[in-house]
Amino acid sequence: MAVSATSFGAGRSEPIWLVRLFDWKPFLIFMCMLPALGLLLLFLTYPLGLGVWLAFTDTQIGRSGEFVGLWNYESLWHDRIFWMSVTNTLLYTFVATVGKFALGLWLALILNNYIPFKSFVRAIVLIPWIVPTVLSAIAFWWIYDPQFSIISYVLVDVLGWRDTYIDFLGTPWNARFSLIAANIWRGIPFVAICLLAGLQTISPSLYEAAMIDGATAWQRFWHITLPMLLPILAVVLTFSVIFTFTDFQLVYAITRGGPVNSTHLMATLAFQRAIPGGQLGEGAAIAVAMIPFLVAATVFSYFALANRKWQQGGRDD
């Protein structure tokens, strides 16, 4: 029995190094992150690196290009349509983000109160967000139709406030604001649900104490609700800016950059130059030019969330 026990113990002593290796926390963390790291390298890092490389070449569809340095960016510097797309992207992102946050916060405050059929109403609110973007774009394309628009019908034939139908997509500024309205409609549920989750974490005792002290509704919102929501606002703002800045489907499905390239965003212009236009290098250069804006939004969120006093509703020293 002693010999067999010794042999058994000796046989089990061999895999001890493997057990110790998996008990080592850094190795275990690395092994758990390895599948996600592989997916990121395959589907994110490689396409991003390839896009950056193509931005410095004159590659076209069906023809391998040569390294041309900054020639694509020098060409874009004098491209009026490119600068129009940059202006449109910044305008689109700013106005749509402000609109989504204003209406989303208002909707979240309403849903945070007691209303009949609260769960059903919250589910209905999510419909604009869960409907596929292309289906939403088709619906808005019909709403903005110059002849069959329901908005023009109500304003002209029902209310009599106008004599002619509105050409939503036929003029540059009408088309720009029509796209912004469509983006706001789609983005409100995301903002509202995220902020509603933040409102649910605020203790009701804070509001009760403020009411006892005689605080008005506006004072309760300004001194309790808003400071407690700031960390969540920073995160939602970052995601909203990124989603809006890189929007492609909604714009391309409704206007395809028209009329006369006046509604092109950087994403839609990059696609048009690279795929239908065949200039992969130029399209990649436009796409790479979007990176500094996205990095700025991410850095803003990082430093905002890293401030612990700001997270807790306090002020910086």
Indicate whether 7 and 132 sit together in one domain.
Answer: no
Total domains in the fold of the chain: 2
How sure is the predictor about 15, in pLDDT bands with cuts at 50, 70 and 90?
low
Indicate whether 38 and 99 sit together in one domain.
Answer: no
Indicate whether 253 and 297 sit together in one domain.
Answer: yes
In a domain, residue 61? The reply is no
CA–CA dist 54, 47 (Å, integer): 10
Q: Say yes or no to pLDDT of 10 above 60.
A: no
CATH of the domain at 74: 1.10.3720.10
Identify the residue with better confidence: 224 or 7.
Answer: 224
In a domain, residue 148? The reply is yes
Indicate whether 249 and 140 sit together in one domain.
Answer: yes
Cα separations (Å) of 153 from 169, 172, 236? 16, 22, 36
- The pLDDT tens digits of the residues spanning 199-209 come to 988 888 988 89
In a domain, residue 59? The reply is no
In a domain, residue 203? The reply is yes
Q: Say yes or no to pLDDT of 25 above 50.
A: yes
In the block, tokens 């490119």 appear at 82
- Long-range CB pairs of 278-281 (<8 Å, 24+ gap) are 278/60, 278/61, 278/62, 279/60, 280/54, 280/59, 280/60, 280/61, 280/65, 281/54, 281/55, 281/56, 281/57, 281/58, 281/59, 281/60, 281/65, 281/68, 281/72
Indicate whether 48 and 168 sit together in one domain.
Answer: no
Full residue range of the structural domain in which residue 32 is found? 1-54
Structure tokens at 180: 């912004």
How sure is the predictor about 37, in pLDDT bands with cuts at 50, 70 and 90?
confident
Q: Say yes or no to pLDDT of 314 above 90.
A: no
Indicate whether 155 and 271 sit together in one domain.
Answer: yes
Task: Provide the pLDDT for residue 103.
Answer: 94
Indicate whether 25 and 164 sit together in one domain.
Answer: no
Indicate whether 155 and 195 sit together in one domain.
Answer: yes
In a domain, residue 317? The reply is no
Indicate whether 80 and 133 sit together in one domain.
Answer: yes
In a domain, residue 267? The reply is yes
pTM assigned to the model: 0.83
Indicate whether 118 and 7 sit together in one domain.
Answer: no
In a domain, residue 195? The reply is yes
- The pLDDT tens digits of the residues spanning 53-75 come to 999 999 998 888 889 989 999 99
Decide: 241 and 191 in contact? Cβ < 8 Å: no
Q: Say yes or no to pLDDT of 11 above 70.
A: no
Q: At what angle do helices 80-111 and 226-245 cross, to 10 degrees?
A: 140
In a domain, residue 165? The reply is yes
Q: What percent of the chain has pLDDT over 70?
A: 91
Of 95, 119, 125, the closest CA to residue 107 belongs to 125
Indicate whether 37 and 74 sit together in one domain.
Answer: no
Q: Say yes or no to pLDDT of 168 above 50.
A: yes
Residue 57, beta-bridge partner list = 67
Q: Say yes or no to pLDDT of 283 above 60.
A: yes
How sure is the predictor about 2, in pLDDT bands with cuts at 50, 70 and 90?
very low
- The pLDDT tens digits of the residues spanning 126-153 come to 888 888 988 999 999 999 998 888 998 9
Indicate whether 11 and 155 sit together in one domain.
Answer: no
Segment 111-134 mean pLDDT: 85
